[in-house]
Amino acid sequence: MAKRILYAIPALALLLSVVYFHGLYAQLVVSAVAVLCVHEMMGAASAVGRPIRVLGYIYAALLFPAYRFAGGFGGIAILIAIGMMAVFIMLVLSGRDAIDGLLTVLPMLYPGLFFVFMLAIFCIDNADISRFLAIMAFGAAIITDSFAYFSGRLFGKHKLIPKVSPNKTVEGAFGGLFFGTCAIVVLGVTMQDYFGIGINPFWYVLLGLVLSALTQIGDLAASLVKRRFGIKDYGYIMGEHGGAMDRLDSVLFISPAVFAFYFVLVA
């Protein structure tokens, strides 16, 4: 446990610096972590095939300039189209198996495309709203994961989906959902005035339910991919915590929902 805490401290410090300093610094950090996570997913996919790594790295490195300087999601759509064409061109020229192409596309979309929404949150012009959304996203993921873990340890008796994640329980899932939703409601209601937002508290209840559920689904989705590739962790950069993907799988999965919340109710 002590080692896990020590490895978590630098990651927490980086997260706090990203939220506090914000701006270009936050965008570049998110972009760098996106490249790292694509690298980890490429490595995981290598357990069952030969993804075309160079294309994945180029694609991940271009996510930030494509979004920031080429029209936002329009630029990302163009980048994805070019990336898919590049994969097919490489397959035709090299004669590699189509599975290698699919294993190259996977990291481009997951986690690559999911990182675009996190990047979009940090690219919102209003820095206060951007910080608020980042706090909600990471807060929902951290609190839901933590209470799901402790609820499962204390009360867990019924396995949730043992074929995907043998340690997760139904009781843990409900504990994470309840406390994660409560946390989002408390954070939203108490902080929204400070960050210049004023919406009906009802929407925080709905947002909390959605984010807490998606947090756990994102964790299960990442576990499903790991089981399919026959690996325990995506990487080892965080020691016993695994890789960056192992720590960010939940928040990545809820980033699109957080940005949708902003787009529909706040913008």
Residues 41, 246: Cα–Cα separation, whole Å: 10
In the predicted structure, residue 165 carries a pLDDT above the cut 70: yes
Banded model confidence at residue 121, pLDDT cuts 50, 70, 90: very high
User: Which stretch, 7-11, 42-46, 95-99, has highest mean pLDDT?
Assistant: 42-46
Q: Is the dihedral of CA 48, 52, 58, 63 positive or negative?
A: negative
* Residue 155 half-sphere exposure toward CB, CA atoms < 13 A: 11
Residues 114, 121: Cα–Cα separation, whole Å: 11
Query: Could you give the 3-state DSSP secondary structure of residue 34?
Result: helix
Tokens found for residue 222 = 């990442």
Q: Which of 7-11, 138-142, 244-248 is predicted least confidently? A: 7-11
In the predicted structure, residue 2 carries a pLDDT above the cut 70: no
How many domains is the chain built from? 1
Residues 15, 2: Cα–Cα separation, whole Å: 20
Over pLDDT 70: what percentage of the chain?
Answer: 97
The pLDDT of residue 3: 58
Tokens found for residue 73 = 């999601």
Residues 42, 177: Cα–Cα separation, whole Å: 31
Q: Which residue has the tokens 């409601």?
A: 185
Query: Could you give the 3-state DSSP secondary structure of residue 160?
Result: strand
Q: Which of 135-139, 170-174, 234-238 is predicted least confidently? A: 234-238
Q: Phi/psi of residue 169, each to 5°?
A: -120, 165
- Boundaries of domain holding 6: 2-266
Query: Residue 160 to residues 119, 126, 171, 174, 177: CA-CA distances in angstroms?
Result: 32, 40, 8, 10, 14
Residue 125 burial (CB count, 10 A):
6
The pLDDT of residue 8: 72
Q: What share of the chain is helix, strand, coil (3-state, %, to 5)?
A: 80, 5, 20
Residue (of 131, 130, 129, 138) closest to 33 by Cα position: 138
Query: Residue 256 to residues 85, 96, 211: CA-CA distances in angstroms?
Result: 25, 33, 10
Computed on alpha carbons and rounded to an integer, the radius of gyration of the chain in Å comes to 19
What pTM value is reported for the model? 0.93
Identify whether the C-beta of residue 36 lies closer than 8 Å to the C-beta of residue 234. no
The pLDDT of residue 256: 97
Report which secondary-structure segment, H or E, holds 26.
helix 23-45
Per-residue pLDDT tens digits for 15-63: 999 999 999 999 999 999 999 999 999 999 999 999 999 999 999 999 9
Rounded average pLDDT over 69-81: 96
